[in-house]
């Protein structure tokens, strides 16, 4: 059974850092583009970042570029998001998702991990 399990969320002060992890099981994540999507409380979905199967191609939303870093460890079947210089507007539920065809067709999602940026 395919599963994605996020962890690492929590409460952090503005300007602080957090590292999110996403553990994949039931498939080899090394064959897929992996992604982070977030959803602020009561708001819609926002794409955050994508990383190709071999980490050759990496993309970021303008809102996080220069502050967030996506990475992966295919040997550990894991995806990461290092978040620095956090702002109140980064408060959201962060989902990791698998892209089945490489064009935002996210066929499996985790349950999300909540990041709250507050003083």
Interacting span for another protein (CB under 8 A) from 11-19, 22-30, 71-79, 104-112: 104-112
Name which position in 110, 113, 115, 117 contacts another protein (CB under 8 A). Answer: 110
Write out the two tokens for 15: 């300007």
Does 32 sit near another protein (CB under 8 A)? no
Q: Does 23 interact with another protein (rule: CB under 8 A)?
A: no
Q: Which residues bind another protein (CB under 8 A)?
A: 35, 37, 44-47, 50, 57, 59-62, 95, 100-101, 103-107, 109-112
């Amino acid at each position: 059974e395919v599963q994605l399990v996020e962890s690492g969320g929590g409460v952090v002060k503005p300007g602080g850092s957090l590292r999110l992890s996403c553990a994949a099981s039931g498939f080899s994540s090394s064959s897929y583009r992996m992604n982070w999507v977030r959803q602020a409380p009561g708001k819609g979905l926002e794409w955050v970042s994508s990383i190709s199967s071999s980490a050759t191609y990496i993309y970021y939303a303008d809102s996080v570029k220069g502050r967030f870093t996506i990475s992966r460890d295919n040997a550990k079947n894991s995806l990461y998001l290092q978040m620095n210089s956090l702002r109140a507007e980064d408060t959201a539920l962060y989902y990791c998702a698998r892209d089945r065809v490489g064009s935002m067709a996210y066929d499996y999602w985790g349950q999300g991990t909540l990041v709250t940026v507050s003083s």
